[in-house]
Amino acid sequence: MKKLLLIVGLLLFVGCEPDDVCSESTPTTPRFVISFFNINDIESSKTVGGLYAVGLDDQNNDVPISGENVESRAEIRLPLNGTQNQSRFKLYKSYDVVDGEVQGNPDEITIAYTTETVYVSRACGYKNTYTIQGISIESDSDLWMISPEILTNSVTNENETHVKIYH
């Protein structure tokens, strides 16, 4: 009888599936990567002082981006909206808040794309990938982002630059 219980217990243990956990190394929906370059020396990256980004909704209201900080850097990663065919952002150069008033030089960037939903696994679910259709840059005042160059239309991971912007 003990042998039978031991065999049944062993079969139950061996028959169990491992926990279905989505590893942190599993690629998820990628963010859109922009690298900034010097307009006077197009091979040299160029840091943007006080770079800060906010999303824009359909009514042109600012939408905070989770984890976005004001910092000087030559690259930014932006989350694209998987339920739309375009995302709009306001990118500030020299961003600061003085006496409750936002200061800096904002340019608006619009990224048009198509979205494809891809199955990753049972534990991880689905992720979106994007195909870039076009990019436009506008400003109400002093345009600091001069010229975008699409390096790859396929946004499938965030470990590569998708667009260079010269300033």
Q: Flag the least confident range among 8-22, 62-76, 125-139, 151-165.
A: 8-22
| Chain segment 97-109, per-residue pLDDT in tens | 999 898 999 999 9
Per DSSP, the chain holds a count of helices (H) and strands (E) of 1, 12
Please give the single-letter amino acid code of residue 56.
Answer: L
Give CA separation, 6 vs 16, 18, 100, in Å: 16, 21, 71
Q: Which residue has the higher pLDDT, 54 or 124?
A: 54
Please report which confidence band the pLDDT of residue 21 belongs to, taking 50, 70 and 90 as the band edges.
confident
| Cβ-based burial of 167 (10 A; exposed 0-12, middle 13-18, buried ≥19) | middle
**What percentage of the chain exceeds 90 in pLDDT?**
76
Please report which confidence band the pLDDT of residue 18 belongs to, taking 50, 70 and 90 as the band edges.
low
Q: Flag the least confident range among 5-9, 31-35, 40-44, 52-56.
A: 5-9
What gap in Å lies between CA 136 and CA 150, rounded to an integer?
11
Please report which confidence band the pLDDT of residue 22 belongs to, taking 50, 70 and 90 as the band edges.
confident
- The DSSP code for 20 is -
- The DSSP code for 122 is T
Pairing of strands 101-121, 86-98: antiparallel
Which pLDDT belongs to residue 15?
A: 46
What gap in Å lies between CA 130 and CA 114, rounded to an integer?
6
pLDDT value at 74 more than 60: yes
| Chain segment 115-153, per-residue pLDDT in tens | 999 999 888 899 999 999 999 999 888 899 999 999 999
pLDDT value at 94 more than 70: yes
